Structure 1
Amino acid sequence: MITQKARYAFKALIALARAGETGLAARDVAAREQIPQAFLEQILLDLKRAGLVGSRRGREGGYFLARPATDITIGNVLRLVDGPVAPLPCLSRNSYRPCADCSDEATCAVRHVFAEAYDATVAVLDRTTLADSLVTAGTGDMAALGA
């Protein structure tokens, strides 16, 4: 399962993608998406540090996508917010470490059971973009998404 923080991050990114270049104030995203504003602001700062969103100050200010929605993958966001997505540390591509109770990965039945499912999941997460998720949901305007 993904964390509530990741769910809120996806909701915020989708709201910003829908808003296009004009962006949205954090309070507007919080109200529209029913996200506690203080928590949302922490999430937006993390997304900004990662280069996924930008911000403008002032009366017309707010947050906006810093990259096209076609360049932001679901897998990248999920790893950024929740950390490794692998069900076992020995399967992780970015945070690999051997399991403490395993003497031989090549013959580990647990690893082999989860490896195929993990590979399929990661393939979907890493090829699906924010723009894809909007189009799939029937809300995508490809021009506004940077496509």
Structure 2
Amino acid sequence: MLSKKTQYAFHALTYLADNYSKGPVLISEISQERQISLKFLENILLELKKAGVLGSKKGKGGGYYLIKPADEIALAKIIRVLDGPIALLPCVSLNYYERCENCQEEVCGLNRVMADVRDNTLKVLENKTLKDILRNR
């Protein structure tokens, strides 16, 4: 399940995508237009900036902006930045692998099923972009 944080991130990112040609957008504008707490939004946008999804400009005419066009921002990247692993079990995570407690992976049927779930989920999320969200509104 997507966290509220990630859902808000997608709301903010779609707003930035809608305003891509206008340049940097103030956090207060995004907050007001998408009805997201200003403080919460500041933290979200800062994380996305650190991850290389957003850029920012200070001073007059400043704000946040997408570094790449919406069709180059994979949904999987945003989810991983804000929510961490996409896999439902830590033992099948590609980027955040951890052995499950009391598990024998070599004979675990759940592990194999969840690996298939992960692969199919990733197939969708890595091939869908922010632009797909914009198209489906």
* TM-score range for the pair, normalised by the shorter chain length: over 0.9
Instruction: Give the structure 2 partner of residue 92 of structure 1.
Output: 93
Q: Mind listing any 5+ residue stretches in structure 1 that lack a counterpart?
A: 138-147
Larger RCO (CA under 8 A, 6+ residues apart)? 1
> 2-side partners of 1:39 and 1:136: how far apart?
26
Q: Kindly state the Cα deviation for residue 36 of structure 1 after the two structures are TM-superposed.
A: 0.1
Instruction: Give the structure 1 partner of residue 69 of structure 2.
Output: 68
Does the 8 Å CA contact 2:87/2:114 hold for their aligned counterparts?
no
Higher helix share: 2
4+ runs deviating over 3 angstroms: none
Q: Kindly state the Cα deviation for residue 82 of structure 1 after the two structures are TM-superposed.
A: 0.6
Instruction: Give the structure 2 partner of residue 9 of structure 1.
Output: 9
Identity %: 41
RMSD: 1.3
What's the TM-score, normalizing by structure 1?
A: 0.86
What's the TM-score, normalizing by structure 2?
A: 0.92
Q: Kindly state the Cα deviation for residue 122 of structure 1 after the two structures are TM-superposed.
A: 1.3
1:101 matched to 2:102? The reply is yes
Count of aligned residue pairs for this structure pair: 136
> 1-side partners of 2:20 and 2:78: how far apart?
19
Instruction: Give the structure 2 partner of residue 145 of structure 1.
Output: none
Deviations 1:101-147 (A, max 9, x none): 112x232121123222221111111111111221232xxxxxxxxxx
> 1-side partners of 2:73 and 2:53: how far apart?
7
